[in-house]
A = this chain, B = another copy of it.
Amino acid sequence: MDSFADRTKRRLRDELLDAAQDAIETGGYDGLRMAEVARRTGVSRQTVYNEFGGKWGVLEAVAARETERFLLDVNAALAEQSDPIDGLRAAVERALTLAGANPLIKAALSQPGSDQASQLLTTRGQQVLELAQLRLDAHVREHWPEVPAEDATNCVDVALRVVISHIVTPGPPPAVVAAQLARVLSPFLAESRRLHV
């Protein structure tokens, strides 16, 4: 099930991604060289192609891994709160803080070759949106089951889009945005809750 070969394969992939991510954070998508990734990992260029198919595949994989980590972290912040409104605020603040400090996001947003990187960001954004949607939805329905599914979904959807907007176009500090968003959305949730006891 988990042979040494399996672990080695995962490790190879991980180290390749480390090298690639480092390159991207330094020079953006254009600064990413397949040969460089191979050299840094101590592997032949062909191996990189075998693993990811091509340069685009590398970017995809790097983004996927980083997304995973990002969501894991945000979920942790969310799970610490029992009140959905507090959870919303905490998750939003954490997400914006992380995004602001993330070199990969920084590189993706500031690079000139954004015609491709930004495209990735949007597709990635879709996945993030879907995954986060599910997670947040579950959280709301767990603690406030009386809120209709549709209302919860809508509220979460709005919050997510605002957050993504703030990531793409940085504005006030994370805590401020989080508080604002919580203040704006809480009445909606509270009323929906009150109407469906």
Contact = CB atoms under 8 A, between A and B. Distances in A.
A43 B12 contact: no
Q: Size range of the interface on A?
A: 10 to 19
Interface in A1-43: 1-8, 11-12, 15, 41-43
Interface string A97-124: 0000000000000000000000000000
A4 B12 CA distance: 8
Contact of A3 (B7, B8, B11, B42): B42
- Copies of this chain in its oligomeric complex: 2
Interface string A78-103: 00000000000000000000000000
Contacts of A43: 3-5
Contacts of A4: 12, 15, 41-43
Nearest to A43: B4
A118 to B, nearest CB: 32
Contacts of A15: 4
Contacts of A11: 8
A5 B41 CA distance: 10
Nearest to A9: B8
A63 B6 CA distance: 28
Contacts of A3: 42-43
Interface of A: 1-8, 11-12, 15, 41-43
